[in-house]
Amino acid sequence: MAVSLLTQTRQDRRENAIERLLTVTHDDMARVNAMILERADSHVDMVPELARYLIESGGKRLRPMLTVAAAALFGKGNGSAVNFAAAVEFMHNATLLHDDVVDESGMRRGKPAARMVWGNKASILVGDFLLGQAFMMMVETGDVAALAVLSAASATMAEGEVFQLAKTGDLTTTPEDYAEVIRAKTAVLFQAACEVGAMAGGADETGRKALSLYGLELGNAFQLVDDVLDYGGQSGTLGKNVGDDLREGKMTLPIILSLAEGSDAEKATITNTLGKADASAFEVGQVVAILNRHGTLTRTLEKARGHAEAAVAALGVLPESEMKTILADVVEFSVGRAY
């Protein structure tokens, strides 16, 4: 009974981890959001129109929340965290604008993608503008060490996207290739967001490294879960947007593992659908059935859970605090999205 109650409590805690993160970062995030609005402005009307359409389209702003939370964890916020948080969100949104052009995506966050409204050209150029503004906000802090972290993340993210593009539809892609793609395209920004937050908060070398590792592992777990959700989650339930990665030819872990283990007939079914932009729900369903048969969605989630545990473990060197508990619970929440 006591165990059951404890389990219940922990589950509740996980489930409202984002709400608690929102609460404890509320004041800082109000400043971040004001800065985001201000810096997305321009005398060229199309810039704020397009930028705000995306930025205000209901993303959780998880990355900037992590930055200000990491700063608050060490308590000695010097104001730079707000700039870094806004910069991280701009970097993320610039990437989304360019990714939607590269992936030819029609939808983003439940709305038509910006490129469907303003076109590919404007999406590319406004992405560049947001990147430039991100660097300006960082530079204003004068913190060269943090600038090094964020500029390296910027280059690595683009490199990861190119690697993913080069591997599109490549049946020889290995689990190691995939691990490198998700580290570079996703985890490195989570890592930088947490690391520069810690730096802005006055963390020592131990604290900085702990938050860097926490962010990296959280980001890896996050992308693995995203890649499972693209096939309907652990249950393989079909719904809207399920199969986008498949239709785009993206070599994510469930596909890589299934190709390695499937029968010749199963492999043929996968390869016939992989990269087929107009694949029907039926064809996608056939592939999901193969993924379920080989348990590769479940195993991908187990891998995510491993990274999630590593993220929580990375915080172990730090003293207990409410913020530390929240950051640990956010990891659990992120993985829990797929169940």
User: Contact residues for a copy of itself (CB under 8 A)?
Assistant: 42-47, 94, 98, 101-102, 120-122, 124-126, 128-129, 131-133, 135-136, 138-140, 142, 144, 147-148, 151-159, 161-163, 165-166
Q: How many other CB atoms sit within 10 Å of the CB of residue 206? A: 11
By 3-state DSSP, what share of the chain in percent is helix, strand and coil, each rounded to 5? 75, 0, 25
Give the residue with the Cβ less far from a copy of itself, 24 or 147.
147
DSSP letters of 219-274? HHHHHHHHHHHTTTTTTT---TTTTHHHHHT---HHHHHHHHHS-HHHHHHHHHHT
Buried b (16+ CB within 10 A) or exposed e, 241-261: ebbbbbbbbbbbbbbbbbbee
Give the residue with the Cβ less far from a copy of itself, 5 or 144.
144
CB 151 within 8 A of CB 123: no
Question: Taking the complex as a whole, how short is the minimal distance between the CB of residue 210 and a copy of itself, in angstroms?
Answer: 23
Give the residue with the Cβ less far from a copy of itself, 135 or 295.
135
Give the residue with the Cβ less far from a copy of itself, 90 or 214.
90
Q: What angle do CA 336, 337, 338 make, to 5 degrees?
A: 90
DSSP letters of 105-125? -SEETTEE-HHHHHHHHHHHH
- The residues, ordered by sequence, that sit 6+ positions from 297 with a Cβ below 8 Å of its Cβ are 228, 231, 233, 234, 236, 254, 291
- Strand pairing partners for 107? 112
Give the residue with the Cβ less far from a copy of itself, 248 or 329.
248
Give the residue with the Cβ less far from a copy of itself, 88 or 131.
131
Q: Using N-to-C axis directions, what is the helix angle for 144-166 and 188-200, rounded to 10°?
A: 170
Give the residue with the Cβ less far from a copy of itself, 152 or 289.
152
Question: Taking the complex as a whole, how short is the minimal distance between the CB of residue 2 and a copy of itself, in angstroms?
Answer: 52
Question: Taking the complex as a whole, how short is the minimal distance between the CB of residue 194 and a copy of itself, in angstroms?
Answer: 19
Question: Taking the complex as a whole, how short is the minimal distance between the CB of residue 237 and a copy of itself, in angstroms?
Answer: 31
Question: Taking the complex as a whole, how short is the minimal distance between the CB of residue 280 and a copy of itself, in angstroms?
Answer: 25
Question: Taking the complex as a whole, how short is the minimal distance between the CB of residue 249 and a copy of itself, in angstroms?
Answer: 12
Which residue in 208, 213, 210, 219 sits closest to 184, CA to CA?
219
DSSP structural state of residue 319? P
Identify residue 206 by its one-letter amino acid code.
T
Question: Taking the complex as a whole, how short is the minimal distance between the CB of residue 117 and a copy of itself, in angstroms?
Answer: 14
Give the residue with the Cβ less far from a copy of itself, 151 or 298.
151
Question: Taking the complex as a whole, how short is the minimal distance between the CB of residue 118 and a copy of itself, in angstroms?
Answer: 9
